[in-house]
Structure formats: C-alpha cells, structure tokens
Amino acid sequence: MKKVNFKNKKFWRLWISHALSQISNYLLLFVLLGRLFEITSSTVAISMLWIVYAIPLILLGPFSGSLIDCLSKKRVLITTNLLQALIIASYSLTFFWQKNYLVYSLLFIYSLINQFNNPAELAAIPNLVKKKNLSMANNILLFTNQASFTLGAALSGLLVKLFSPVAVILTAAAATLLSGLNATFLPFDRPIAKINNWNLAMEEIFLKIKQGYQFIAREKLILYSFGLIVFFQIIIAVSALILPAFSSEILHLTAYDAGYLVAFPVACGLIGGTLILAHHQDKIRKKEWIGSGLSLMGIIIIIFAVIIAKMNGGQEILAPFLSFIAGLAAAITYAPCRTFVQEATPKQIRGRVFGTLSFIVTIATIPPSILMAMITELISIRWLLTLSGLIIFLLGVFILRKGNDVILAANHRS
C-alpha cells in the first residue's frame, strides 16, 4: 500500500491545524446541544441551531470554492481559525450575561467563516503532497474527522461533569487558536486564479451548478442514490437534534451524557462498519449492504423506544452497545450509496455533482428537522422513535426485496 511521506512536515502542519479545528468543532457542538436543552427543554430551539448553521452554507456553499481559488489558502486558514477562536470564546460570556439567545448570532458568524475554512484546507492539500500520495492524504484527513467526532463526543460530557460548560468552550477556543497559529508555519501559496470580471465568473459558476443538476436529473440511478443519501442525512440531522431529549426521556439521564453514551459508541461503530466494508465490500452487493443496514438501524431505534425507555436501570450498559451497532449499520448503509454515485458519474463532472449533492442535502434536511422538532414537542419521543424506526426498517426490507427491480428500471434506456 502506498504511504504518505511521513517526513513531509508541510502536510503534517496542515493535519495538525485540521485536527485541532475538528476537535474544537465537536466539543462545541455537544456543549451547545446540551446547554440549549438544559435551558429550554425544547427540540424546536435545538433545531434552530441547525437552521442557523445551514444558512451560510446555502448562501455561500456554491461559490466559496471558486472564491478560495482567488486567495492565499495559508492566509485564509490563519484568518478563519483566529476569527473562529474569538467567536467561540465570546460564547462563554453568555453564561455570565445570561444572554443565551446570542448563541444563534455567534453560531451564524462561526458558520459563515467556516464556509471559507473547509474548502481552503481541501484546496491546500495538492500543494503540499505529491500526486501519488494525494489519495492517502485525503484518507488521513477523513479518518481524522471520524476520530475527532469520536473524541469530541467522548470528552464533552465528561469534561462538563468534571469542570463546567464554560471550561469546555474555552478549551475549544484554545484549540482553534492553536490551529490558526500552527497554520502560520505553512508555506505561502499564491492564488491560482484572478477574477477580472465578476459577472462572467458568477455566470460560469451558475453554469457548472446547472450542469450538475441536469446530469443528476437525467441519470435515474444517481437520482435514486441521491434520494437514499438525502434520506440518510435527514436521519443523521434529526438524530443530532433530538439527542439531548433522547438522553433525557429514553435513557433518563442528563443531556450531556448523550455524548459519551450514544454519540461516542456510534462513532466507533461507524469506524468498525467502514473497516468491515473495506474487507468484504466486493463479496456482497451494494443493495444488500444498504437494505441490511437500514433494516438493522430501524430495529435498533425501535428497541430503544420500546424496551430501553421502560427500563428502570441498566441503560448505561445497553445504550453504548446498541449505539455501536447503530453506527455500524449506518456505515454499511451510507458508503455504498456514495459509491453508486461515484461509479455512475464521469470523472470530469464529479466535482460539481458532489458539490450539488452537498447543496441539496443541506436544503433537504432543514424542513424535516423543523417538522420532527415540532412533532417531538407534540408527542412523546418514544412514539417518534417507534414510527421512525418502523419506516426505516420497512425501507430496508423494500430495498432487499425490490432493489434489483429499481436498478434495472434505472438502467433501462428505451
């Protein structure tokens, strides 16, 4: 197997900045979820977090990559991380001022800045590693994302219990600050493009977006795969939003306990499922992976709603185990869906198709998030989980039984 040159200090400096930034993101995420639920006991208030975070992505997502090409990636990484550190530290003041509504304003600004930070990191990689090591470098960053989520989920609730939410927030701010300072050691890079005519540049961007939509609409197999990916992302978004309520009403624990009892095992399951796919993906058809994963996920959700919620003790033991299985099921569902899209998309338009996918997923998750949050306010979370688990299970069974018919219909070119 090819290896990244481990003496490549330039790449590892970028990796350190990326790791510190990602750990900070997830520490902040779980503290925000726990804090808002602790104050409001409302899933609607928590759903507003996702909406506020998603608005900058919708507004800037299609254009930020093109803008990054006109700027120095090093300067963008330094500036964005320092600004985000300031925003995170500012949130700690809301605990003393009791101005908790300011979290939405601060999160909006944080997300706005993040739309330049993420593409700058991805665009910087080809300048730091050789072409033969590019794939491995991207895999290292992807694994770092998973590990950062795992670490953030495990540490956030535990640090809150040992110290306080403010201490965790200041830790996240310090990590982001270190990320920005570390970025100062990256080599300077010149912008690869210069926009002389903004009108023409915007027309070109919109043309590429349009081409991505047209290709997706024309290719039925990709359209079906997109539908599954969007459905899966909706499950993830809603799960994150109801996580504090889940911890309170199903596990009968505090909102902060969800991080290390649910999110951490789920992340471990995602990593385990990814490893299983890596060793056995060629032995089992994609539609069987997807159908089995959805069916198993539905069963786990129903078990939580019907059995775990009624237990008087032992949730701390069973919840991590079931959450790990749910993460494993999620991994063997999601990866084959993305593979469908990758295999059916020509290389020359793959970037814009996946860019379109991210844009569609963000928009598609907002209405269900609001709806599910409102439903949770009206009915018990047990009923919501039972109905959701049943729908997911039935969809998995449908794919197992009728998946071949769907694929054949998608590939029909009459």
pLDDT digit string, tens, across residues 343-364: 666 655 555 566 566 667 777 7
pLDDT tens by residue, 100-135: 667 888 889 988 888 888 777 777 777 777 766 665
DSSP 73-115: HHHHHHHHHHHHHHHHHHHHHHHHHT-TTHHHHHHHHHHHHHH
380 dihedral zone (left: phi>0; alpha: psi -120 to 50; beta) = beta
168-194 pLDDT tens trace: 889 999 999 999 999 888 887 666 555
Q: CATH 1.20.1250.20 occupies which residues in the chain?
A: 1-194, 204-414
Q: What is the pLDDT of residues 26-53, one digit of tens each?
A: 888 888 888 888 777 778 788 888 788 8
What is the SS3 string spanning 13-76?
HHHHHHHHHHHHHHHHHHHHHHHHHHHHCCHHHHHHHHHHHHHHHHHHHHHHHHHHCCCCHHHH
Structure tokens given for 243: 């996580």
Of 54-68, 276-290, 398-412, which gets the smallest average pLDDT? 398-412
DSSP annotation string for 263-275: IHHHHHHHHHHHH
* Helix extents (H) in 250-380: 258, 264-280, 286-306, 315-344, 350-378
Nearest alpha-carbon partner for 299 in 274, 326, 272, 273: 326
pLDDT tens digits, one per residue of 327-347: 889 888 877 776 666 666 665
pLDDT, position 7: 63
Mean pLDDT for the stretch of residues 313-325: 90
- pLDDT (average), residues 231-238: 79
Rounded to two decimals, the pTM is 0.71
pLDDT of residue 400: 84
pLDDT of 350 reads: 57
Residue that wins the pLDDT comparison between 235 and 68: 235
Q: What is the pLDDT of residue 391?
A: 92
Q: How distant, in Å, are the alpha carbons of 67, 145, 226, 345, 349 from that of 205? A: 10, 28, 22, 19, 13
Average pLDDT score over residue span 140-154: 76
Span 1-194: which CATH code?
1.20.1250.20
Please choose, from the candidates 38, 46, 45, the residue with its C-alpha nearest in 3D space to the C-alpha of residue 254: 38
Q: How much is the pLDDT for 305?
A: 92
Identify the residue whose tokens are 């009728």: 402
Neighbours of 378 (CB within 10 A): 8
Q: Tell me the C-alpha distance between 354 and 336, whole Å.
A: 15
CATH architecture of 204-414: Up-down Bundle (1.20)
pLDDT score of 4 more than 60: no
Complete DSSP assignment for 146-158:
HHHHHHHHHHHHH
- pLDDT value of residue 197: 58
